[in-house]
Structures are given as structure tokens and as C-alpha cells.
């Protein structure tokens, strides 16, 4: 039995086999081969697998987002079967005696360059598709692809670290636990684990060893341990611990249907944080009263190209319809820093957390922002929508946002498109916003305090840097004072104020937040019932 220790970011016990996740290798090795027939057979097998995946993706997209948007996967299938593409690959293998990965890479580069040199916009756009299918083939060939077939049953993911763009590719129903060598409690991997309600360890002293792949393990999210090949005694103990945890969870079920109200009779809106349409079921299962933060950027992270207005509209409409009149607050695109998306082609920065991100991107790439606003306002007719904007530091930004909002509303009115009543709010996640919250409050309906970033910027501690964990104090007086100040200023000007950062679920602070006058707490769905119980005790 091997035991490794990490920092737990979500409690619980998971038992299952390990899936060692390595980053998809983009660098392709050039290797001379002798058996060209075997190499061509390897390519053909990868092609068949890719074709099967694309068929599956086409079907899934057709059902999820409609025929038109699904067409891209049809195009990919045609390109994959293209005679020139295939002849070029097999030619490089046969004539130059090169490995399949290299042959696919070279062919992809040459054909993409050819498309890019064309006059026609549509044909130029196919260059990205050629890259896409080549990347798919290469990752199948070198075994770094994470596909649903690669994870036939629920697994414990062991990885060096996971970027948000990587976590979105996992089939969430197949994850039992996440164990990473790096990461921090406030990283988006940790947030994802909490949203999915699965135990997770970060900064674990575990080797990313392929030898571990497929081996039996137990993750104890209470003690921060992972046992690989647990002995009988440990397994029996862990099974009992899991049973107890499941029983406690079952006991919490009695909180369902109860009001989230303090002893003094104050109702606190208890909402959930989600990353996508697939998380809504967990919101409803946990009897949450609404959605306080829909991180819309995960929709962008899950696409290979800018999601169209239609794709976004369908996603927002689905969430609003499923929530059936309950409040849904969707945050506009918050990328940059750790959330990088290739097709945005963002510049490399010395200091990305202080760089070109979130609203700064939206206010400079207005076509991207406008597409999202149109989708949001169109969807607003299907439920109770609030829109909030991330990383605000000034009134000027709110004015620019409102100008765009008015433009979009006018456009939709001219097109005879119905829109609902939408509350507009901002995230308070910079010290600048908290300190000037008295100036910002008159311009909005609500504030939502993003304590993850607010803590990072107030304490000058990078939320991604695990080596600073010992300096990080989530209960630092500076953070608490900024929260207090923000709530008071919101109320002074008739706005409501909530917390959607991870601190909102910290039960040691619940009584304090209630005392401060907080109106709403938005937490991972799995925390809802615990927090309701805690609030009812306040």
C-alpha cells in the first residue's frame, strides 16, 4: 500500500481506480520507422477512432444545440476522409519512413497553410478545422487524449495540475475524485471539484507515474490522504468512513424544503454556483433557491471556436427554463489569467492576474461582448435573469457596459424580440471596487462579492501559487472589513449584496456575514444543505 498526502479542498471518501492524466502533448517527435505497414495500420486505427468520436460529437451537438451548430463535426469527418489529406499522411510514412504523429503533423501544417493562403473567407476558416482534426489524431496516436472511451468507468484522476480548459473535457459523470500535485484551494480545479461534490486533494506529494494507472485507490478527503492499493484493513476502515459520510449527507436531506432563515427571522437567499448547463440538476437536487453565479466562460472553454449567439442563447435559455422562475445570475465572460482559451489568442503577459482579463477583454473586443449580451437578453424572456460583470474597478466601466446593454436592447426591440426584466449587477472582486462601493452602488441593482479574487488582490497572494498557502489567511481582517464596507454601501444606495466566492460557504464566518447584513450566499450545490442548517442556527 502506498500513502500520499495532500491538502483537501473538498471532504468525502472516494473508492475506485486511478486514471493518470498527462497533458496532451502538442510537441510532436519526429521518429524514423522501419515497419511502414504497421505505422500505416496505426494511423488507420487512430483515424477510425477519431471518426467514431466525431460521429458521436455530431449526434450530441445536434441534440444539445441543433443541426446547424452540429455541422462542424460533419465537416471534420469529411476533412478526415479527404483523399489528399490521407495520401499525404501515408506518403510521408511510406516514402520518408516517418512515424504517424509526424506525418499527421506535417500534413496538417501544409494543408492549413494552403487554406490560409486562399482568397475566400470560408476556405481560410477551414485551416482551424485541419488543425483540429490533426490535433485529435495526434493525441489519439500518442495516447494523451482524454475521451469518454478512455474513461470507461468512474475514476480517480491523478494529475500534475489541471487547467480549466482541461477540466471541461472530462465527462463529469465519470469523476470520483481529483488528486493533483499542484493547485491551490482557490484554484478553479478545486472549485470544480466542489461544484461536482467530489473529494479533491491539491498539492499532493504524489508522483505522476503511469504505473499507477488503473490501480485501486481510496481518496480520503477528510484526512487529505490517498491510498494506492489499500490493504484490507485500510479498505474496511475507508468503506466504513464513506458509509458514515453518506449517512450524514442523508440526514441533511431533512433540510430540503425548509426556509433559509435565521433565528431572528431574516431570510438569506441561498443560491448555487455553476459552470454549465450540466450542473443545474445538482442545484435542483440540493434544493437551492437559485443560481448566484453561472461562470459563463466555461461555455467558451468547452468550444473550439467562439460560441455563436445561438449556442449561447440555447444554453442560457435551458438553464433559465430548468430553474423555472427561480433567480439565475449569469456572469459575463471572465477569461484571462488561469482561464486561457487558444482561439482568443491572448497576448502572453508578465503578470496575467493583473492583466488583460474579464471585463477588460469584453470592453475592448466589443463584438464578442455584444454576441453574449444579445444571447443573454434573448434568453431573459424565459426566466428570472440577472447579469453580472466581473473584475470591475470603476464607474466608467459600468457606464460603458450600460451603453452596450442599451444598444443591444434597442436592437432586439427593433427585431421584435421579447426580453424580460433583468437585474444588472457587478462583482466586487478588486479592492478598488470594494473601497469605492459607495460610488458604484447607485449604478447597479446588486453586488456579488468574489472573495477568491478579492482575497488574492487584497493580500497580494496569487491564488494559483500553492507555495504561498502558509501566508494565506482567508479570514484576514482586511478582507472582512472590505466585505462589511461593501454590504453597507450597497444597502445605503438600495442595492442588495451577496457573496459568490468560496468564502461564502465557510461556516465559521456564516454568523459574521449574517451580522454584517448579507442578503445572499451563493455556494457550490453540495454545500447548500449544510449552509441552510448553519444559517437556521444563527
101 in contact with ligand PEP (CB under 6 A):
no
User: In the β-sheet with 175-180, what is the strand arrangement from edge to edge?
Assistant: 2-5, 225-228, 216-220, 13-21, 155-159, 175-180, 200-202, 7-10
Collapsing DSSP to helix, strand or coil, 436 comes out as: coil
453 in contact with ligand PEP (CB under 6 A):
yes
429 in contact with Mg ion (CB under 5 A):
yes
Quote the least distance from Cβ 11 to Mg ion, whole Å.
Answer: 24
Which of the 8 DSSP states describes residue 266?
-
Query: Which of the residues 76, 362, 497, 500 is marked catalytic?
Result: 500
In 3D space, the residue among 242, 236, 238 whose CA is nearest the CA of residue 226 turns out to be 238
Instruction: Output 107 or 184, the one with its CB closest to ligand PEP.
Output: 184
Which of the 8 DSSP states describes residue 375?
H
Torsion sign over Cα 433, 463, 356, 412: negative
Quote the least distance from Cβ 189 to ligand PEP, whole Å.
Answer: 11
Rounded to whole angstroms, the Cα distance separating 126 from 473 reads 49
Choose the binding region for Mg ion from 10-18, 103-111, 428-436, 511-519 (rule: CB under 5 A): 428-436
Q: Is residue 500 annotated as a catalytic residue, yes or no? A: yes
The separation between CA 194 and the C-alpha centre of its own chain, rounded to angstroms, equals 12
Instruction: Output 429 or 462, the one with its CB closest to ligand PEP.
Output: 429
Instruction: Output 450 or 525, the one with its CB closest to ligand PEP.
Output: 450
450 in contact with Mg ion (CB under 5 A):
yes
Got the DSSP string for 201-229? Answer: EES------GGGTT-EEEEETTTTEEEES
Q: How many residues does the chain have?
A: 538
Among Mg ion, ligand PEP, none, what binds residue 501 when CB lies within 5 to 8 Å by partner kind?
A: ligand PEP
Near ligand PEP in 487-506, by CB under 6 A: 500-501
Given a contact cutoff of 8 angstroms between Cβ atoms, the answer to whether 201 and 224 are in contact is yes
Q: Is residue 188 annotated as a catalytic residue, yes or no? A: yes
453 in contact with Mg ion (CB under 5 A):
yes
Which of the 8 DSSP states describes residue 356?
S
* x-marked contacts with ligand PEP along 402-431 as a string, rule CB under 6 A: ---------------------------x--
Choose the binding region for Mg ion from 38-46, 109-117, 445-453, 490-498 (rule: CB under 5 A): 445-453
Instruction: Output 453 or 462, the one with its CB closest to ligand PEP.
Output: 453
Rounded to whole angstroms, the Cα distance separating 461 from 458 reads 8
Quote the least distance from Cβ 332 to ligand PEP, whole Å.
Answer: 12
Give the binding site for Mg ion (CB under 5 A).
429, 450, 453
Tell me the catalytic residues. 188, 500
Give the binding site for ligand PEP (CB under 6 A).
293, 295, 334, 429, 450-453, 500-501
Amino acid at each position: 500500500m502506498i500513502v500520499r498526502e495532500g491538502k483537501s479542498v473538498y471532504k468525502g471518501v472516494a473508492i475506485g481506480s486511478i486514471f493518470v492524466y498527462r497533458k496532451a502533448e502538442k510537441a510532436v517527435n519526429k521518429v524514423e520507422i522501419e515497419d511502414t505497414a504497421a505505422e500505416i495500420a496505426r494511423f488507420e486505427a487512430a483515424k477510425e477512432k477519431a471518426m467514431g468520436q466525431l460521429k458521436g460529437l455530431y449526434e450530441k451537438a445536434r441534440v444539445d444545440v441543433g443541426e446547424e451548430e452540429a455541422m462542424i463535426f460533419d465537416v471534420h469527418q469529411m476533412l478526415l476522409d479527404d483523399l489528399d489529406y490521407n495520401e499525404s499522411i501515408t506518403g510521408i510514412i511510406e516514402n520518408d519512413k516517418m512515424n504517424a504523429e509526424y506525418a499527421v503533423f506535417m500534413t496538417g501544417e501544409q494543408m492549413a497553410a494552403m487554406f490560409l493562403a486562399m482568397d475566400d473567407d470560408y476556405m481560410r476558416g477551414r485551416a482551424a478545422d485541419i488543425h483540429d482534426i490533426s490535433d485529435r489524431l495526434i493525441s489519439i496516436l500518442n495516447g494523451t487524449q482524454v475521451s469518454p472511451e478512455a474513461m470507461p468507468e468512474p475514476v480517480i484522476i491523478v494529475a500534475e495540475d489541471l487547467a480549466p480548459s482541461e477540466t471541461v473535457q472530462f465527462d463529469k459523470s465519470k469523476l470520483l475524485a481529483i488528486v493533483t500535485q499542484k493547485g491551490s484551494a482557490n484554484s478553479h480545479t478545486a472549485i470544480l471539484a466542489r461544484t461536482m461534490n467530489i473529494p479533491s486533494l491539491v498539492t499532493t506529494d504524489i508522483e505522476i507515474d503511469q504505473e499507477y494507472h488503473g490501480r485501486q485507490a481510496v481518496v480520503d478527503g477528510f484526512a487529505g490522504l490517498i491510498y494506492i492499493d489499500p490493504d484490507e484493513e485500510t479498505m474496511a476502515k475507508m468503506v466504513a468512513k464513506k458509509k458514515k459520510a453518506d449517512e450524514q449527507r442523508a440526514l441533511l436531506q431533512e433540510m430540503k424544503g425548509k426556509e433559509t432563515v435565521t433565528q431572528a427571522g431574516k431570510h438569506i437567499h441561498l443560491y448555487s454556483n455553476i459552470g454549465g448547463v450540466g450542473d443545474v440538476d445538482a442545484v435542483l437536487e440540493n434544493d437551492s433557491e437559485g443560481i448566484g453565479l453561472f461562470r459563463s466562460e466555461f461555455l467558451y472553454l468547452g468550444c473550439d471556436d467562439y460560441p455563436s449567439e445561438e449556442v449561447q442563447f440555447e444554453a442560457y435559455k435551458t438553464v433559465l427554463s430548468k430553474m423555472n422562475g427561480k433567480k439565475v445570475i449569469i456572469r459575463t465572460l471572465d477569461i484571462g489569467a488561469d482561464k486561457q482559451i487558444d482561439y482568443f489568442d491572448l497576448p502572453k503577459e508578465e503578470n496575467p492576474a493583473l492583466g488583460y482579463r474579464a471585463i477588460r477583454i469584453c470592453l475592448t473586443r466589443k463584438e464578442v461582448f455584444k454576441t453574449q449580451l444579445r444571447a443573454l437578453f434573448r434568453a431573459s424572456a424565459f426566466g428570472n435573469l440577472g447579469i453580472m460583470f466581473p473584475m470591475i474597478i470603476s464607474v466608467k466601466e459600468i457606464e460603458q457596459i450600460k451603453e452596450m446593454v442599451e444598444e443591444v436592447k434597442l436592437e432586439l426591440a427593433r427585431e421584435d424580440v421579447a426580453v424580460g426584466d433583468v437585474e444588472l449587477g457587478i462583482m466586487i472582486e478588486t479592492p478598488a471596487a470594494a473601497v469605492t462601493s459607495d460610488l458604484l452602488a447607485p449604478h447597479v441593482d446588486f453586488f456579488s462579492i468574489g472573495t477568491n479574487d478579492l482575497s488574492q488582490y487584497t493580500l497580494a497572494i496569487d491564488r494559483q501559487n500553492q507555495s504561498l498557502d502558509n501566508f494565506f489567511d482567508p479570514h484576514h481582517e482586511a478582507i472582512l472589513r472590505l466585505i462589511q464596507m461593501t454590504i453597507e454601501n450597497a444597502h445605503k444606495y438600495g442595492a442588495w449584496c451577496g457573496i459568490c466566492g468560496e468564502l461564502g460557504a465557510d461556516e465559521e464566518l456564516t454568523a459574521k456575514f449574517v451580522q454584517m447584513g448579507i442578503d445572499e450566499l451563493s455556494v457550490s450545490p453540495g454545500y447548500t444543505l449544510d449552509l441552510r442548517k448553519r444559517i437556521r442556527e444563527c
